[in-house]
Amino acid sequence: MKISWKRILLIILATIIIASTVILLIRFAPEPPAREVESARKAISEAAGNKADTYSRKQYNQARVYYDSAMVNWKRENQKFIYFRNYDRVLSFARLSEKKATDAQQNSVTSSANLKSKLSEKLHSLKALERELNKLFDNYPLTEETRSRISKGRMLLEEGDIAFRKGNYLQANRKVTDAEYLLTESFENATENLKNYFKSYSQWKKWVDLTINESKKNNDYSIIIDKFSRKCYVYFSGRKKYEFDAELGKNWVGYKRVKGDKATPEGMYRITKKFDSRKTKYYKALLLNYPNTEDTARFRAEIARGTLPPNAKIGGLIEIHGNGGKGIDWTEGCVALTDREMDLVFKIARVGTPVTIVGSLAELDTVISK
């Protein structure tokens, strides 16, 4: 069957009309805001790269929500006939997403920089406080609880410093804040304890002055123990002749109160006996007249007040002896020197040589400022 040229012409014309219609529909159909959506995606990615999800979390999350809304609406519109699609909401959400992401990035950079600066200052301050704690209280007999808090504070400070150097400023801030609380509180409590201890300074100075004057007057030797600085000073004729490191009882702060308290006493004493290596397990030893009259009176007063139990014992056998050089306070209340130093002290000391033991030769302000 032949197709007439008129039919062919009609088919061609219909095809042209349909194709033109499709082209026109496509050309004038709503165009999805692909560029704006891509810009929003890039802005979110850049914000995440600047840790906005950490330092500007609220704005960053809003940017993500707006981006997800844009994508949901885009998908919904694509399900419609092409000419009836409307991408206005997609465009609106994409622009909101990009703005929130940009704001989040800027705020993150600013917040991170501010936090970094504050953390740097706080770390510097706390490290200085830690050095002060080490200087004043490393060998000071603090309570176990205080020691534990200081140890935990130091650990947190170290962890915070590591996090800071890695750029994890929020984690560093949490660690440093906890460390600050522990170290500051411990330092304040320890300092208050130290201040109370140094209230006896005027008494210590009086004892030291009397001891040095006696040495000068008798043109003889005298021995002074400075507990806080861990020093043993030997004077001759009122002048300092020797200086040695000393090791004390573990609980050396304050007076010795009872037998077994591991406290090194404070007061003006004298050597009563000399023991060579055959008569002591501590190489050589100089026995002191502890307890003296003041020690006994103080002990009895505590019994009477009820601050010590009625069956408490005052103790004794306080010596200057050898076997020192351990670098820690380890004695039962005695003063320990190295064997070599003990040889010299043993040689020049005699029965009756004054031995004065005080908390410190220096005032508290001087001790703290060193």
Same structural domain for residues 175 and 256? no
pLDDT (tens digit, 9 = 90+) per residue, 24-48? 555 556 788 889 999 999 999 998 8
pLDDT at residue 1 tops 70: no
pLDDT (tens digit, 9 = 90+) per residue, 146-177? 999 999 999 999 999 999 999 889 899 999 99
Q: Which domain holds residue 74?
A: 5-110
pLDDT at residue 212 tops 60: yes
Average pLDDT over residues 68-81: 90
Same structural domain for residues 132 and 210? no
Angstrom distance (rounded) from CA 83 to CA 146: 77
The CATH number of whichever domain residue 165 belongs to comes to: 1.20.1270
Instruction: Report DSSP letters for 83-106, one per residue.
Output: GG---HHHHHHHHHHHHHHHHHHH
Structural domains in the chain (count): 3
Angstrom distance (rounded) from CA 344 to CA 289: 21
Domain end: 180, 198, 216, which one?
198
Domain end: 95, 110, 125, which one?
110
Q: Residue 229: what pLDDT?
A: 92
Alpha-carbon separation of residue 215 from 209, 211, 285, 370 (angstroms): 10, 6, 21, 29
Same structural domain for residues 190 and 214? no
Per the prediction, the chain carries an average pLDDT of 90
Tokens 């609106």 locate to 92
Please report which confidence band the pLDDT of residue 53 belongs to, taking 50, 70 and 90 as the band edges.
confident
Angstrom distance (rounded) from CA 319 to CA 313: 18
Angstrom distance (rounded) from CA 276 to CA 283: 7
Q: Residue 8: what pLDDT?
A: 66
Closest by Cα among 109, 101, 94, 95 to 58: 101
Closest by Cα among 117, 109, 134 to 50: 109
Q: Residue 50: what pLDDT?
A: 85
Please report which confidence band the pLDDT of residue 64 belongs to, taking 50, 70 and 90 as the band edges.
very high
Average pLDDT over residues 320-332: 94
Same structural domain for residues 204 and 322? yes
Same structural domain for residues 22 and 96? yes
Average pLDDT over residues 230-238: 96
Angstrom distance (rounded) from CA 96 to CA 75: 18
Cβ–Cβ under 8 Å, residues 221 and 236 = yes
Cβ–Cβ under 8 Å, residues 63 and 40 = yes
Same structural domain for residues 99 and 123? no
pLDDT (tens digit, 9 = 90+) per residue, 256-269? 999 989 999 999 99
Same structural domain for residues 106 and 163? no
Average pLDDT over residues 308-315: 90
pLDDT at residue 2 tops 60: no
Domain end: 110, 131, 155, which one?
110
Neighbours of 34 (CB within 10 A): 12
Tell me, yes or no, if the pTM score tops 0.85. no
Alpha-carbon separation of residue 317 from 270, 286, 312, 313, 333 (angstroms): 13, 10, 16, 13, 9
Q: Which residues pair with 320 in a beta bridge?
A: 286, 335
Max CA pair span of the chain: 152
Please report which confidence band the pLDDT of residue 3 belongs to, taking 50, 70 and 90 as the band edges.
low
Angstrom distance (rounded) from CA 277 to CA 215: 28
Same structural domain for residues 17 and 38? yes
Same structural domain for residues 180 and 214? no
Same structural domain for residues 225 and 330? yes
Cβ–Cβ under 8 Å, residues 266 and 351 = no
Angstrom distance (rounded) from CA 109 to CA 253: 52
Same structural domain for residues 83 and 172? no
Q: Residue 136: what pLDDT?
A: 87
Whole-angstrom distance between the N-terminal and C-terminal Cα of the chain? Answer: 120
Same structural domain for residues 106 and 83? yes
pLDDT at residue 67 tops 60: yes
The CATH number of whichever domain residue 275 belongs to comes to: 2.40.440.10
Backbone angles phi, psi at 274, to 5 degrees: -120, 125
Angstrom distance (rounded) from CA 334 to CA 275: 14
Q: Residue 24: what pLDDT?
A: 54
Spatial strand order of the sheet with 267-275 comes to 239-245, 231-236, 221-226, 354-358, 267-275, 285-288, 319-321, 335-336
